[in-house]
Each structure stands twice: as C-alpha cells, then as structure tokens.
Amino acid sequence: QAEAHADRVLAQYPGGGVLIANAPADANTQMVRDGQPAAARPAPARLLSAYEFKERFTVQEQAIIMTSPELAPLALHVLTAPNGVDVTDATAQQARTALAAAGWSTKRLDAIFEVPV
C-alpha cells in the first residue's frame, strides 16, 4: 500500500522523494530528508469556541463590529468557523488587521488575539 502511494506521488511530482517509515504516525514521528528534519512541525492549533472568542470583546466592541459594513462580514466568517476559532490563522489575522485599520489599539488587539494556553 505504501509503495503504491509512493508511485502515485512520484508520478505527480517527478524528481521528488518519498520517505516510507515503518512506524505509527504519532507525535514523535517526523519527516526527514537527508538526515535533517524536512520541516519544522507546526505548533498545534489552540482553538477557542466561537462563544469564548466573542466573550473577549466588550458589548460596545461587539456592537461596533456588527454595525460596520467593513468589519461585520469578516467577524461573521471568524465566528462561524466550523471547528472553532484559531486566533493564529490567516482569517483571524485578517480580522486583526481590519480592526487595527479601524483604529483599535495594539494593546487591545493583543489581548483579544492572545493565544490560549
């Protein structure tokens, strides 16, 4: 099965390389190329529920966002994320940029978009 997958990958990406490891894919498994890590393992996403994220805003801030033609669509997109809100993903960063452009302070945005632990 692994060899068939490797053949498909190599057919799609000529000149590429495939590593077949006989180990379960767990947190300790890492892709290597030429003895070096192929890429740094991304940090796991820390998701907030839409409710938790919404609660980071004051009632006044929520009203400002939801009545702004520029901010409301982006806010709805962030808050309707199917698996929760990742404050580090591209959409959340777009929202942060839009709020900064609307004059929100960096200190306040840092608090809103703080990565949960």
For 8-34, write each residue's pLDDT tens digit: 877 777 766 666 555 555 445 555 555
Residue 23 lies in a domain: yes
pTM of this prediction?
A: 0.58
Question: Can you name the residues that pair with 86 across neighbouring β-strands?
Answer: 47
Do 64 and 106 lie in a common domain?
yes
Residue bearing tokens 């077949």: 20
Do 53 and 105 lie in a common domain?
yes
- Cα–Cα distance for residue pair 85/88, rounded to 1 Å: 9
Longest dimension (CA), the chain: 58
- Cα–Cα distance for residue pair 75/99, rounded to 1 Å: 10
Collapse the DSSP code of 16 into the 3-class scheme (helix H, G, I; strand E, B; otherwise coil) and give the result.
Answer: coil
Domain carrying residue 82: 47-112
Do 100 and 67 lie in a common domain?
yes
Residue 104 tokens read as 């929100």
Do 56 and 97 lie in a common domain?
yes
Residue 117 lies in a domain: no
Nearest one of 39, 52, 64 to 115, comparing CA atoms: 52
- Cα–Cα distance for residue pair 73/41, rounded to 1 Å: 32
pLDDT for the residue numbered 45 = 61
- Cα–Cα distance for residue pair 5/105, rounded to 1 Å: 50
Do 27 and 57 lie in a common domain?
no
pLDDT for the residue numbered 57 = 93
pLDDT for the residue numbered 7 = 76
